[in-house]
Structure 1
């Protein structure tokens, strides 16, 4: 699927996911794909390496055999981030005993959100490793990988707090494929998203 076409139909995919899905059917695999010699090759998340709130490296191998939920935020965000983190806390509480699921939050303010600040932020939320990883790294790498997740993360002096970013939560499977997403500021959207997480975990068993 051509990239421009995917972005055109993306809102329709969101609408479909907010409907009443067949709970017995597998989740769709989202993103661009191509057929090579009869095999369908799906969009996957690129290799990455970031540093978490405990100064540990977080990379693709960290999530080997696991599904994970992604978001992009910054600690001083004056708009959507507190709403999104409230919904991520709901996910954390529901799935904190599920060893096949991890939460991954990328700061997009790499200058100010230092490792000690990320650690304090996680501690203040009452969450910890390994269930919820807060990561920082090279700014361009974080902004670039946001595209892989069909999200937005970029500096914008005209945006509140100086950054333009999406409040989307994204579900990734163990094969590094995007399987679902939702509006992380909308509790009803997150309700459906949590059911999608359950469906993916069921597929993995």
Structure 2
């Protein structure tokens, strides 16, 4: 083989190795996701010096039930990542659009047990488990993968305002105001991403950032619970 050809072959083999080393060294820090919803700032003394540390909110779920009628609690959300949105079945505007885009997320992570979707109704008086089950079928929700939740109105609204810190809805459906925002919550119950659920571009960002979180779990060898 000629010297130039040997050199060219060597460079072709070296480039992917260098790219891998670069991503391994710098990729994790560069693509680490932020944490949202700070609760307070604690001060601790380390080596004689005070350090400030932000404590972030952890989502606590009230007693709710899925479209199958099964009770759901915080323990069900400690097994991996989950995406949360708030909607109601009689919404004729953005809700169907958000649900349609969430189908893409479900399909992307169909075979990844660490990722689930959770849609919470803001009209629990109307959206019974039976109605939610029909709505779930309409969007091809996979049982156990995409949960549609309902419960006591006070508990649902507390989840919206106290846990995810969104404005309280005004009135009742069909004049019910709601948010198109999606939340990515990690296995520790902390919000790691917020997205416009009506935007295809934002859905792609959500899919990418779910992948980042899963990769970070794989790197740290966290067990799949």
TM-score (normalised: structure 2)? 0.75
Stretch moving more, 169-178 or 191-200: 191-200
Distance 1:119 1:65 in 2: 23
Give the C-alpha shift of residue 96 in structure 1. 1.5
Aligned to 1:140: 154
| RMSD of aligned Cα (Å) | 1.8
Give the C-alpha shift of residue 198 in structure 1. 1.0
Is residue 98 of structure 2 the alignment partner of residue 84 of structure 1? Answer: yes
Q: 1:70 to 1:152 in 2, by over 3 A?
A: farther
Is residue 164 of structure 2 the alignment partner of residue 149 of structure 1? Answer: yes
SS in 2 for 1:155: coil
Per-residue Cα deviation, 1:78-116 (whole angstroms, up to 9, x for no partner): 211011001111111111111001111001111111111
SS in 1 for 2:35: coil
SS in 2 for 1:181: strand
Q: 1:28 to 1:98 in 2, by over 3 A?
A: same
Contact preservation (8 Å) 1:153, 1:163: no
Contact preservation (8 Å) 1:68, 1:172: yes
Aligned to 1:28: 34
SS in 1 for 2:93: coil
Contact preservation (8 Å) 1:74, 1:81: yes
SS in 2 for 1:165: coil
Distance 1:154 1:66 in 2: 29
Structure with larger Rg: 2
Q: Which runs of 5+ in 2 are unaligned?
A: 1-25, 45-50, 219-225
Stretch moving more, 123-132 or 22-31: 22-31
Distance 1:144 1:48 in 2: 8
Q: Which runs of 5+ in 1 are unaligned?
A: 1-21
Per-residue Cα deviation, 1:162-197 (whole angstroms, up to 9, x for no partner): 211100110000110000011001111111121111
How many equivalent residue pairs? 182
SS in 2 for 1:53: coil
Distance 1:59 1:36 in 2: 32
- Which structure 2 residues correspond to residues 147-186 of structure 1 after superposition, within 5 A? 147=161, 148-156=163-171, 161-186=174-199
Q: 1:69 to 1:187 in 2, by over 3 A?
A: same
Distance 1:43 1:71 in 2: 18
Is residue 204 of structure 2 the alignment partner of residue 191 of structure 1? Answer: yes
Q: 1:92 to 1:151 in 2, by over 3 A?
A: farther
